Amino acid sequence: MSFTAGHGSRGTLFLFLLLALATAGCGGSEPATEAGPPKARVETCRDLILLLDHAVLEHDGPGKSEARIEERLVSMGGPERAAIFAHPVSEISYTLAIHPGARLEFLIGMHPDCWETATDGATFEVLVRTTLGSETLFSRHLDPVHRPKHQEWKRCEVDLQQFAGTTREIVLRTGPGPADDPAFDWALWGEPRLISEGRRVPAETSARPHVILISLDTLRLDHLDASGHQRLTTPHLNRLLEESLFFTNAHAPSHWTMPSHMSVFTSLPPDIHQVFQIDGTARLAEGIPTLAGQLRKAGYLTAGFASCGFIKGDLGFDRGFDRYFLRYNNARRQNRLIRDWAWSNRDRDQFIFLHYFDAHSDHLKLPYTAPHGFEDLWSDLESEEIFGGCSPDGELCASSYLTQLNTDNVQLKLAERQAIGVMYDRGIRQLDYSLAKLVAWLKAQGLWDSSLVVLFSDHGEEFQEHGKMLHQQLYNELIAVPLIIKLPGGNHGGRRIDTPVEAIDVAPTILSLLELPVPEIMQGRSLAPLIGEGAATPDKDPLIFSWARNSSSITQGEWKLVTGTFGGREALFNLSTDPGERHNLIRRENHIARQLHQLLKEQRHRNRAIADRMSASGPAPTDGFSDEERKKLELLGYVE
């Protein structure tokens, strides 16, 4: 982000104060509900908050040392709005290609904290700037102290059709009120968006789409807004779903990061690839093909961006990647890395694996902390007062505390568990926001529309629904995960597919969609036929397996058998009548349990035979994690 202070106003520019108010205006206060989808198609909506990193920010005038231009979430009585806080005098300049039918939509408002102050209001202007000068397309003064009607968001629109086909610098300028005093002029630009008409890139224009595989670590399916969760955790993902296929019945192969990711990379269940040693002492056996390796063979430039040691390259996660980076980054820094890489290699066919760790519990402070701007979300629940994130004696906090609860079998009160759920949801909302920023950037660079994008989660998270915190078991709060596929051109966008699928299906699906060979050893099935992109129709009622060290599960249709639970015994659940897996029906439905038990046993034997065939010696030993790495991972709540 470039921030230039003290330049003064752009005196060298010749200013045309041509007020084009015939094509600009505000339609009064904000609507009572969340803004609906944009009128134009979703791929033509550019969110200017998400592009703030790419804008030129200038600030001038008195008080500039304290003044800021930054993102905020602000409510003026109604729902929270994403906004840019821009203290006058300031300019936010975007260089944007203007497409046919373009219009700028935005809200303007003054922060409620200044309604009782001595502010004289602020002036909001939208300018279009060329080398010849500027043209003012919109100008409005808000004065919430003297005009109570200004104590709300004003929805505004500027028509940019006259600039269609050109690239223009669009400026959001904030000036002081009539007294020329910027004190307390806490101005807000809410939800600024550039909307234009269809500019969808047809799939056939790109012979070889870029492939972007995104891991949303620890994202539980039923905490998505699109799954009907009670809090709005994923507003941006909702938009992404409009141009994607949403697999609503996808399953993780394991309950934790290392084996699940390796299963996605190899299309092998954990007991075949055998990379699940928590001390990092096993490396993927030589000769096992990976998704990245297949794409690299096909000429793709392959790069991976991991943000947790459990998927470090030494364990075989780097197999097939030209470059594999491990940085303990948050999503914001991950985005920066990936942007630099994607942009500098934009002329190549790219496969990018991107790992976001932000929904995972934090090891330093409260679990599931959210960065600035999200920490107050849903704060009416007063979650921190109910649960502060630490043990009552203050000795253990965050993941360490939750791990201790598991070890000591301590059950939290319902209100405490709900409070932790709120913190988790804030992390998801933040992740959703960071993901949206990346998508916005990829769209702006023309790297999105024709790309094949797959989003998955490696496992969910449990809040003592079955007695444990974090991710320990094979119940659906852990293994029901989102799987989202955006095809080039957004084909089949908005479809939901309820057929049961598995994360090991990801690699064969990507390879089939690209019409590349799928190695015989890969155990997943291509989902292309389900999407309507392949001939054969896959089994509608497949067997679904998940694996843990001392536990395994098999699901077929409405029935699920979990082994190694209830003190080592098996448990049978009917997912149709008991989706929460509360009632063990093993006695009543013993014949079903026996059938599933037999199928599970046969699968285990089959997997073992494949594992033996692939590598007589099993996975290659490694030195394991360094002391420093081990300490970091233990702090995240992983203990032997």
- Positions that interact with Zn ion (CB under 5 A): 217, 257, 458
Please tell me the number of Cα atoms within 13 Å of 3 on its side-chain side.
13
Which residue is at the shortest CB distance from Zn ion? 257
**What's the closest the beta carbon of residue 257 comes to Zn ion, in angstroms?**
3
**What's the closest the beta carbon of residue 255 comes to Zn ion, in angstroms?**
9
**What's the closest the beta carbon of residue 458 comes to Zn ion, in angstroms?**
4
Give the nearer residue to Zn ion in terms of CB position, either 176 or 460.
Answer: 460
Give the nearer residue to Zn ion in terms of CB position, either 401 or 456.
Answer: 456
**What's the closest the beta carbon of residue 355 comes to Zn ion, in angstroms?**
9
**What's the closest the beta carbon of residue 213 comes to Zn ion, in angstroms?**
15
Q: How many CB atoms lie within 10 A of CB 20?
A: 16
**What's the closest the beta carbon of residue 503 comes to Zn ion, in angstroms?**
12
Question: Quick one: which H or E segment has residue 208?
Answer: none
Query: Is there a contact between 42 and 243 (Cβ–Cβ < 8 Å)?
Result: yes
Exposed/middle/buried for residue 603 (C-beta within 10 Å: 0-12, 13-18, 19+): middle
Give the nearer residue to Zn ion in terms of CB position, either 209 or 269.
Answer: 269
Residue 403's nearest CA partner among 69, 639, 104, 105 is: 639
**What's the closest the beta carbon of residue 217 comes to Zn ion, in angstroms?**
4
Which residues neighbour 384 within 8 Å (Cβ) at sequence distance 6 or greater?
A: 366, 419
Q: Is 540 helix (H, G, I), strand (E, B) or coil?
A: coil
Which residues neighbour 11 within 8 Å (Cβ) at sequence distance 6 or greater?
A: none
Give the nearer residue to Zn ion in terms of CB position, either 90 or 334.
Answer: 334
Give the nearer residue to Zn ion in terms of CB position, either 119 or 457.
Answer: 457
Question: Quick one: which H or E segment has residue 432?
Answer: helix 414-444
Exposed/middle/buried for residue 282 (C-beta within 10 Å: 0-12, 13-18, 19+): buried
User: Which amino acid is present at 575?
Assistant: L
**What's the closest the beta carbon of residue 359 comes to Zn ion, in angstroms?**
9
Give the nearer residue to Zn ion in terms of CB position, either 215 or 274.
Answer: 215
Tell which phi-psi region holds residue 378, choosing left (phi > 0), alpha (psi between -120 and 50) or beta: left
- Phi first, then psi, for residue 574 (nearest 5°) are -100, 110
Give the nearer residue to Zn ion in terms of CB position, either 47 or 217.
Answer: 217
Buried residues in 326-349 as b, exposed as e (16+ CB within 10 A): beebbbeebbebbbebbeebeeeb
Give the nearer residue to Zn ion in terms of CB position, either 257 or 552.
Answer: 257
In total, the chain counts a number of residues equal to: 640
**What's the closest the beta carbon of residue 636 comes to Zn ion, in angstroms?**
9
Give the nearer residue to Zn ion in terms of CB position, either 257 or 361.
Answer: 257
